[in-house]
Amino acid sequence: MPELPEVEVVRRGLHEHVAGRTVDAVEVLHPRAIRRHLAGAADFALRLTGQRLDAARRRGKYLWVDLSGGDAMLAHLGMSGQMLVQPVGAPDEKHLRVRLRFTDGGPELRFVDQRTFGGLALADLVEVDGTRLPRQVAHIARDPMDPAFDPVAAVAALRGRRTEVKRALLDQTLVSGVGNIYADEALWRARLHGLRPADKLTRAKAAELLAHATQVMYEALGEGGTSFDALYVNVNGQSGYFDRSLAVYGREDEPCRRCGTAIRREPFMNRSSYSCPRCQPRPRG
């Protein structure tokens, strides 16, 4: 599952390669990739053809491209979705689902998705707090990389939840974009176990945790590079360029980088949580 830094890399790639270009033809090779566009593949193709793709935007892990007609093309990357820019005539990828050709005859945009959990859809834009967002994204909070992110409000929202801190951190309506990997990394940096009650954190500790989450995502983005090739590998989940820098995630039984204690893995919402038993003691009771 791509996390926020990976989605940001995709957004930058789209912005660089397709913004300002007009769609000449749309080819849907697998209807499942368009299932979120309820009017169907033919409607999707008809409405998109002739439109100019404008700015590529993101809210949390949601990604879309503004269209000249006033709506937007929303992209769900799902587990394995990739947006690729390929020269016209390049061999089709095995899991190519949607192809957009442009009037300039330049490289085409391809949506490739091995597991077909992702997809594309056209979306109306609605105004939320002075920002135009696809209707499906309207409930998603700003992420820490958003220039208009309000850290004071985010700390208050986090401490206002009577739940475990990791669950609160993953709640996309409080703060968006923090996924399982970066939540574990931020909790380790803040020396907090994810089961600690969010409403019992001091304001300073909650602020520290959010600052760590922000920092770890910026570091991941910094290592991600901005080339579309790097993104191909990364969004596919095969390379994981940030793996080398992770302190706890995926490091069960390996030594804590701070104290040397073996990292533990615990089940968490059908996934896993990784933490250091010594730096991040479980809450009592």
What residues act catalytically? 2-3, 61, 271
279 binds Zn ion (CB under 5 A): yes
Q: With contact defined as beta carbons under 8 Å apart, do 258 and 279 qualify?
A: yes
Query: What are the φ and ψ backbone dihedral angles of 153, each rounded to 5 degrees?
Result: -65, -35
Structure-token match 């089709």, residue found: 92
192 binds Zn ion (CB under 5 A): no
Separation of alpha carbons 161 and 158, rounded Å: 6
Query: What are the φ and ψ backbone dihedral angles of 107, each rounded to 5 degrees?
Result: -55, 145
x/- site string to Zn ion, residues 91 to 120, per CB under 5 A? ------------------------------
- Name which of residues 233 to 262 contact Zn ion (CB under 5 A): 256, 258-259, 261
Total Cβ atoms within 10 A of residue 104: 10
Of 22 and 261, nearer to Zn ion (C-beta) is 261
Q: Please list, in sequence order, all residues whose beta carbon lies within 8 angstroms of the beta carbon of residue 190, skipping any fewer than 6 positions away.
A: 205, 208, 209, 212
Of 132 and 205, nearer to Zn ion (C-beta) is 205
Q: With contact defined as beta carbons under 8 Å apart, do 114 and 89 qualify?
A: no
Of 39 and 259, nearer to Zn ion (C-beta) is 259
Tokens of 3: 């996390």
Beta carbon of residue 187, minimum distance to Zn ion (angstroms, whole number): 12
Beta carbon of residue 267, minimum distance to Zn ion (angstroms, whole number): 20
Of 188 and 228, nearer to Zn ion (C-beta) is 188
**Binding segment for Zn ion among 20-28, 45-53, 140-148, 272-280 (CB under 5 A)?**
272-280
What is the size of the binding site for Zn ion (CB under 5 A)? 7
Q: Please list, in sequence order, all residues whose beta carbon lies within 8 angstroms of the beta carbon of residue 138, skipping any fewer than 6 positions away.
A: 126, 128
Total Cβ atoms within 10 A of residue 214: 21
Beta strands 264-268 and 131-134 are unpaired
Beta carbon of residue 189, minimum distance to Zn ion (angstroms, whole number): 11
**Binding segment for Zn ion among 172-180, 207-215, 217-225, 273-281 (CB under 5 A)?**
273-281
Q: Please list, in sequence order, all residues whose beta carbon lies within 8 angstroms of the beta carbon of residue 183, skipping any fewer than 6 positions away.
A: 166, 169, 170, 194, 213
Beta carbon of residue 192, minimum distance to Zn ion (angstroms, whole number): 12
Of 177 and 194, nearer to Zn ion (C-beta) is 194
276 binds Zn ion (CB under 5 A): yes
Residue closest to 137 by CA, chosen among 212, 57, 70, 214: 57
Beta carbon of residue 188, minimum distance to Zn ion (angstroms, whole number): 8
**Binding segment for Zn ion among 31-39, 63-71, 195-203, 276-284 (CB under 5 A)?**
276-284
263 binds Zn ion (CB under 5 A): no
Beta strands in 213-284 (DSSP E): 264-268, 271-275
Of 48 and 276, nearer to Zn ion (C-beta) is 276
For Zn ion, the binding residues (CB under 5 A) are 256, 258-259, 261, 276, 278-279
